[in-house]
Amino acid sequence: MDKPVCLIDTASDGKLCVQGSALQVLEQIQQPVVVVAVVGLYRTGKSYLMNRLAGKQTGFALGSTIESKTKGIWMWCVPHPTKAATTLVLLDTEGLGDVDKGDSKHDTNIFCLAVLLSSTLVYNSRGTIDNRAVEELQARAESAEQVELRTTTAEQTGPEIPTVEQKPTRVEKSKQEPTRVEQTEQKTYMPTACCSSLLGTSKKVMEYNLPRECIQKFFPSRTCFTFPFPTAPENVSLLGHLAKTYVDTISSGAVPCLENAVIAMAMIENQAAVKEGLEVYQSGMEKLKNSFPLELKVVSSEHQRLSSMATQTFMTRSFRDTDGKHLKSLEEKVNELFDGYLGQNEQASKKRCEDLLSSLSATMTEKLKQGVYAKSGGYDLFCKDLEDIVKKYNSQTNKEVKAEAVLKVFLKQKTVDSKAILQADKKLTEKEKKIKEKAILLEQEIKAKEEAQRQLLEKMEAERQSNEERMRQMKEKMDEEMRLQREEAERAMDSKLREQAALLEKGFQEKADRMSQEMEAFKRQNTEAESNRAREFAELLENSNKRHEESMAMMMQQHREQMKALQQQMSARCSGGCCIL
């Protein structure tokens, strides 16, 4: 983006609304994002700070009067200065405390949205950070206590999940007022373990802590609190969904709830992931369709490759599909498409086989018209000509999926002629006529069923391999998510340990002790979250395997029925002692 755009504005009815043009900008970005939002009183230089973070002198509007210049929330997406292939999303918010706005809730809504959408929140304050500045920030944070982490009902059991509170701890009073930022700077974190469990470990902790020397450089008389939150979206698509969900909720007068937002966001993202996976599969199969008809094993092999690609595409974008519902949907839709392409391949094969038989049997058709077979010994001549046609046909269609089925239909059509010729042939005895009539089509029916059986076994093998590949990809994603969750927990713990050490160094023993209790609680929560995720994944695997086993059971039942029919026909052929015609 060469300049900022408005992300959230105020509509004519006074309610906040997300700008569609901004969402379109976000949809075009395909990189991970780090979201930095700035909040603070109006006319305190927030826009200037964000311009400098973007590496520009201008961009976000700068006011020249005491009136607030920025309205709503403006967005600027720029390359991250230190992380390759990452986008830095800067959010400049409307100044707080402007009495001319006349709506006290408006500031609260702006502040809440900044908290909910950012991975790092910068609170800009006039002058040095003293007790008044901390209390001012605390008042703003307390206004955001209405944001819930999870909804609770009377039926829910277990420990109560705390609501999200972005509230810095009050600075303990001392005999001397603090004069340095280091003495009073406070950081607080959202309940990381709870959020990890809620959002899933694919949500990386993305921190962009502003260098202190950078802030002093920009504002010698101003300082900023920075809060790295572990719940910001990791890509711009999620950011856009979150923004719209939160704004719609706030505009409706309801309380923003992280869990509800995540559920809605997961639904949108997973539906999009299913669509992208299907597009990958369908695009590849459409190219293959240009070469139809093909052997079943060729079509099945390409199906397996594209199905694996579709699953990988889904896995890459999917978000919080804990019950595997959307993965199942993708699997079912891919199989539906596969059956459709198998049908199209069969139709192409059928047409090719029919055209070939029409060409090969042209001479026989002419002989029938001329009555060549309507004489003594004509049946044997008819059988010989028909046998020649079958041999030539088989030599040219040995890889066609509908070769046997089309030949069966062709021979059935010829039974009318063969019966008439057989009855007219005075050379054969009545007993020979009955035996030959009984043998008509029997061998070909057996061949057709044998081919259908072979194709069923090939399809079962393709499904088995596809399921193994899905399981492998799911296990790979699970391992990666667990690794990211552990890294996230380690980063959060390191940050807390540093904070505790700083408190001890400054003599805040009581606060340090409370930090120890918080860290123990954090460890327990993180262990529980990891255990829950492992359980969810195990259930997902179990459900997927169950679906596969059910599918295999149906195919095996079909296999047994076909084998039974085949065995009966083989017995009939053996008792008759005859071959084709």
What does R_g of the chain's alpha carbons equal in angstroms?
36
| Alpha carbon distance 118, 115 (integer Å) | 6
Angle (nearest 5°) at CA 26 between 20 and 31 = 170
Could you tell me if 314 and 331 are in contact, meaning their C-beta atoms sit under 8 angstroms apart? Answer: no
Let me know: does 344 contact 289? Beta carbons within 8 Å: yes
Q: Please tell me whether the overall predicted TM-score, pTM, comes out greater than 0.85 for this model.
A: no
Please report the pLDDT score of residue 395 as a whole number.
93
Write the single-letter amino acid at 517. Answer: Q
> CA 373 to CA 421: how far, in whole Å?
7
CA atoms of 146 and 246, how far apart (whole Å): 13
pLDDT confidence of residue 302: 94
Cα–Cα distance for residue pair 424/536, rounded to 1 Å: 75
CB burial of residue 280 (10 Å; 0-12, 13-18, 19+): buried
Q: What is the CATH number of domain 273-428?
A: 1.20.1000.10
What CATH architecture applies to the domain 5-152+166-179+187-230?
Answer: 3-Layer(aba) Sandwich (3.40)
Closest-CA residue to 228 (of 501, 83, 37): 37
DSSP 402: T
- Helix H or strand E encompassing 322: none
How many angstroms separate the CA atoms of 182 and 276, rounded? 49
User: Contact 82/209 with Cβ under 8 angstroms?
Assistant: no
258-289 vs 236-251: helix crossing angle, rounded to 10: 140
What's 79-95 look like in SS3?
A: ECCCCCCCEEEEEEECC
* Residue 170 backbone dihedrals phi, psi, to 5 degrees: -60, 145
The rounded distance, in Å, linking the Cα atoms of 514 and 401 is 73
Environment class of residue 429 by beta-carbon count within 10 Å: exposed (0-12), middle (13-18) or buried (19+)?
exposed
Contact 85, 79 (CB under 8 A): no
Distance CA(327)–CA(536), nearest Å, equals 14
For residue 289, give Cα distances in angstroms to 34, 298, 352, 456: 43, 11, 15, 21
* Full 3-state SS string of 180-216: CHHHHCCCCCCCHHHHHHHHCCCCCCCCCCCCHHHHH
Averages of pLDDT over runs of 10 residues in the chain (581 residues) are 91 88 87 86 82 86 55 90 88 79 76 84 72 63 58 38 33 36 35 33 30 37 37 59 86 77 80 94 96 93 93 87 87 93 95 95 93 85 90 90 91 86 73 60 68 80 83 82 80 83 84 85 83 79 77 75 68 49 42
pLDDT for 201 equals: 30
pLDDT of residue 175: 36
Cβ atoms within 10 Å, residue 483 = 11
Where do the CATH 3.40.50.300 domains begin and end in the chain? 5-152+166-179+187-230
pLDDT score of 118:
84
Q: Which segments of the chain belong to CATH 1.20.1000.10?
A: 273-428
**Residue 39 in contact with residue 72, Cβ under 8 Å?**
no
Cβ partners under 8 Å of residue 422, min gap 6: 379, 428, 433, 436, 437
Nearest in space to 191 (alpha carbons), one of 170, 166, 158? 166
Answer for the pair 512, 504: CB distance below 8 angstroms, yes or no.
yes
DSSP result, 422-484: HHH-TTS-HHHHHHHHHHTTHHHHHHHHHHHHHHHHHHHHHHHHHHHHHHHHHHHHHHHHHHH
C-alpha–C-alpha distance, residues 485 and 47, integer Å = 34
Asked if residues 149 and 191 have their Cβ atoms less than 8 Å apart, the reply is yes
